[in-house]
Structure 1
């Protein structure tokens, strides 16, 4: 039977992937009766909603479409799998059903061809009266075929109206797909206008359509990007109309710059560079005047700066682009890095490195340096055979950013330079120790992630666990680190590790919840391991018995303890 269908269960598994295929098995009973046509199969699958599925067989093999969120992203979803498996399960009857479908289609064609014009009009009007979506599409086609631009404009803007879908003043995720399907018709209408020789009209209406969507885009849950695709479609329809109509280049430049500097371009994301052919030399000159003027008036404005950058990149003006970036330098050094990369791309490596080094010097210690800037400089030093300079940079970073990552980077650099000896390591650890013990000597470190904790992390990362334990005892460790140290040293220092586990168990007694019970169970298992090493299992048994009595009302915890033999 597979030769009739053109696909197998293996094809379904390959198209969907193992996970979706497995999930599709659970939807076999949710598939409605199949509608089998010539090369297609349609069905409804009841899931979170009732989803429409259509499988098609063509020269490239089997394809599937579903209006569920995952399917609308172009994936062969679990609902497609369920329909495909249902088809395979009815393989013997498929040829007969397909032949019957073809016979019905021929019969319908014959019947339609035998109707008079008035009868066909009556039939169409009957369906238009009962199908609002069909009526709206037909009204739009009628408007675009006529000469009434006002009617076309009104119809297209009505398709972008969020009102019917925004039940609470906001289009929720569940309604965004339906709105997107309606809004997409506006894109089709604009393309139809252009294709029918009315490109100039399409230019004007497209601009209004983009403004309309731009005003409401922030009030739509577009998690799947459906509305974003509509916005991109409107922008492309506008560009295509401009290419066909060739509107006044200077006026087009005025509109473009105004749109790009406004806050309505977030949805359409138009790029000035795409309009070079439309603008020509006069339009580009006008656009440059407007952009430069806007940037000079507000050099720190994000939109002005970005537009100026795009314009200069298109022109290849590296020095002018550097000047734009240099007018608003980030305190982290990130802007210096942008400049360095632009110069390097232009083949000006020496200037590139100078800007990157300047970024390290000028960085605000409270904000930086930007880690990518540091990596950029160190990589260039390494290429130039300057390992000592890499170490110097990494050393400065550690002084400013006392973290495990900074310590690891310095260690790697020093080893590459052959200088990670006792002196360099001791100096690096002293930097991490410089803040002093956050919790006081012998503190238990009840907090998490304090600055001084990097010392303990570094010592553990070095494998110097005894030194890490001493640092923890001196007050440098937080709870996470105490637990990690106890886990690593419990075979060598079972009594010390046991004290840590018991200390961490106590506050959990008063708490509830699965996460708490899981933590408590894990700590008890670790404590039992320590007692076994110490040979004091009886002491642990007494402790556990008392704890079980104290916690007996927590049934979930009791079940977890039983499952782990506690």
Structure 2
């Protein structure tokens, strides 16, 4: 049986020098863990990658979860780590011998050896499952590349004169692949995370084509981010590398990937990872602090480090507008800290001019905490800030038994301000005060708009039909002056309404005389004359 003497010097000629240098660095940093030896076979995790190595007279044979050509620097680092354990005895080339036996013999013999050795049995099962999982992940990664390549090609096919901006991707195969990947997270979280990282990159590439319709890929991206979090919390990612990935991806992404995720990742990042996140954000990635993504990441980091109070402290340092104060209040409200939110809102209302958003947040806090009187006063402030029918209705509903008092106050407020004829008229109609609304219509210098004006006219016609007749005559004459058949038909509709009102008011003779004058005024408009005949307007 051949004997193999292995040293660092004997390993160097079998791999390229750059690979050997990388391997030395990993071994020197102690990044090779879980090293086990079985004859000429070594197993370990090198920089998080599962590695299996066999030492042969011809060099190193290895399998690794990474994509580098074999033997990769992870495999060489594993061999170096074993050499440094101080094992001096030469290794028999057991593998070469066992290769001469068939698989059935090997399985039976291993089972026999493990029958009286529970530790060996457990180890054999674990290694067999790990190998199976590694193979499955390698297959899934290859399938992922193929599926996403097909989707990207499909996107390009739709970039023509017939399909511009109409790509609805079929994500069935991708979802099935992710189902399989999800099942492997618990068993091999670190290796699964590497495939998930690639999935995030590829999905964002597809979405960046700007030809994606529907929300399926966005939903899948959200799902993959959740899978990434599960893998990180289950496995043992390098904290600093994880920080670099989260911050780098968030700043580069157009899809808010990882932007608000740092609190969820805090257990995996630990103090070391959070410190690295802060270093990266302070560097800013070449972006200004006003950038939305960077601001969001700062908030996410603050929450990861110290919860809501840390976020509020961060925002308070930068608050310079009512918008900033409202953002702080929203964060406090989300944490059910209504009193604290009201304190900040009061500060915002003192320091800045009245703001609809701040008042709305104050109202929310007051209603949730049973401050009915304060809530009613805030409703009034909202009405005074934006006087109109919706704000009036909210005010009256909030006032309850005191509705009449608040209604009178609101109407007086509307009357006191110029250019509020329209909201005043709407409120008067709502309250059934048609007489006052009619006075506004009669004051023609006040612009109500056609629809609102006609609402008042129709309401007035219910009790005073004679007052509405001149309005309909005026509208009819305006339509006739357009000189077109649609205009004549519109005029006829107005005249029919005017005839009905005249009949109710007992003014049929006056209306008939008016029609006679109208016919005489347009003798050459034969189509109009025919339309009048059609509806028996004499």
TM-score range relative to shorter protein: 0.5 to 0.7
Displacement, 1:243?
5.7
What does residue 253 of structure 2 align with? 263
Separation (CA, whole Å) in 1 of partners of 2:350 and 2:221: 44
State the secondary structure of the residue aligned to 2:463.
Answer: coil
What does residue 213 of structure 1 align with? 206
1:500 pairs with one of 471, 476, 487: 471
Q: Which of 1 and 2 has greater Rg?
A: 2
Q: Does residue 431 of structure 1 match 2:413? A: yes
What does residue 459 of structure 1 align with? 428
Separation (CA, whole Å) in 1 of partners of 2:258 and 2:492: 54
Separation (CA, whole Å) in 2 of partners of 1:517 and 1:295: 68
Displacement, 1:183?
5.6
Q: Relative to structure 1, is the Cα distance of residues 289 and 499 closer, same or farther in structure 2, using a 3 angstrom cutoff?
A: farther
Separation (CA, whole Å) in 2 of partners of 1:165 and 1:189: 29
Q: Does residue 166 of structure 1 match 2:159? A: yes
State the secondary structure of the residue aligned to 1:260.
Answer: helix
Indicate conservation of the 8 Å contact 1:214/1:264, yes or no.
no
Q: How does 1:150-299 map to 2 (within 5 A)?
A: 154-161=145-152, 162-168=155-161, 172-173=165-166, 175-178=167-170, 180-181=171-172, 184=175, 187=178, 199=192, 201-216=194-209, 218-222=210-214, 225-236=215-226, 238-239=228-229, 242=232, 246-266=236-256, 271-276=261-266, 278-291=268-281, 294=284, 298-299=288-289
Separation (CA, whole Å) in 2 of partners of 1:517 and 1:246: 81
Listed as ranges, the gaps of 5+ residues in structure 1 are 1-143, 439-450
Q: Could you give the per-residue CA deviations for residues 5-41 of structure 1, whole angstroms, max 9, x where no partner exists? A: xxxxxxxxxxxxxxxxxxxxxxxxxxxxxxxxxxxxx
State the secondary structure of the residue aligned to 2:462.
Answer: coil
Displacement, 1:221?
2.2
Q: Relative to structure 1, is the Cα distance of residues 254 and 146 closer, same or farther in structure 2, using a 3 angstrom cutoff?
A: closer
Indicate conservation of the 8 Å contact 2:458/2:468, yes or no.
yes
What does residue 345 of structure 2 align with? 356
Indicate conservation of the 8 Å contact 1:160/1:212, yes or no.
no
**TM-score normalised to the size of structure 2?**
0.57
What does residue 402 of structure 1 align with? 387
State the secondary structure of the residue aligned to 1:531.
Answer: helix
How much is the aligned-residue C-alpha RMSD, in angstroms?
4.9
**TM-score normalised to the size of structure 1?**
0.55
Indicate conservation of the 8 Å contact 1:159/1:185, yes or no.
no
Indicate conservation of the 8 Å contact 2:473/2:498, yes or no.
yes
Separation (CA, whole Å) in 2 of partners of 1:159 and 1:186: 14
Q: Could you give the per-residue CA deviations for residues 498-540 of structure 1, whole angstroms, max 9, x where no partner exists? A: 22233344555549899x9997786455434312212234665
Separation (CA, whole Å) in 1 of partners of 2:351 and 2:453: 38
Q: Relative to structure 1, is the Cα distance of residues 413 and 512 closer, same or farther in structure 2, using a 3 angstrom cutoff?
A: farther
Q: Does residue 534 of structure 1 match 2:505? A: yes
Q: Relative to structure 1, is the Cα distance of residues 484 and 297 closer, same or farther in structure 2, using a 3 angstrom cutoff?
A: same
State the secondary structure of the residue aligned to 1:220.
Answer: coil
Q: Could you give the per-residue CA deviations for residues 376-429 of structure 1, whole angstroms, max 9, x where no partner exists? A: 365379x346x3x5555444444432323334445556665x4854xx766543
